[in-house]
């Protein structure tokens, strides 16, 4: 795959263990794809946070397009806020199941 078409996958869940577990599973299925997880709030509480999502987005190569998968609706709303704050990034929020959607292959 050409470098300019690289895609990273970002998994957002209300629960850190869920995001991490999904990342582990999908990384095994797609070893060549950058898969990132963002789950829970600081302190391990359940929820999603714009700050935390933004921090993970900043870890991803700026050249990579990002496909975002989320667990429930409020995660989507926070993802949309990050998307609006970073219009310079190629970012798409996928209305697809977290695991099945994340098995997308390059």
Given 6, 15, 25, 49, the residue binding another protein (CB under 8 A):
49
Q: How far is the CB of 39 from another protein (least distance, A)?
A: 11
With CA atoms as reference, report the closest residue to 53 among 73, 39, 72, 67. 39
C-alpha 87: how far from its chain's center?
16
Given 29, 46, 55, 92, the residue binding another protein (CB under 8 A):
46
Compute the distance between CA of residue 66 and CA of residue 6 in angstroms, rounded to an integer. Answer: 9
Q: How far is the CB of 95 from another protein (least distance, A)?
A: 13
Residue 63 token pair: 């050249």
Footprint on this chain of another protein (rule: CB under 8 A): 14, 41, 45-51, 72-74, 77-78, 80-81
């Amino acid at each position: 795959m050409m470098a300019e078409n690289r895609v990273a996958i970002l998994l957002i869940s209300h629960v850190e263990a869920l995001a991490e577990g999904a990342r582990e599973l999908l990384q095994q299925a797609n070893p060549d794809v950058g898969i990132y997880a963002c789950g829970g709030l600081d302190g391990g509480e359940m929820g999603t946070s714009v700050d935390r999502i933004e921090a993970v987005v900043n870890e991803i190569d700026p050249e990579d397009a990002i496909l975002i998968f989320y667990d429930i609706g409020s995660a989507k709303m926070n993802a949309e806020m990050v998307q609006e704050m970073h219009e310079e990034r190629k970012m798409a929020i996928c209305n697809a199941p977290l695991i099945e959607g994340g098995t997308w292959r390059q």
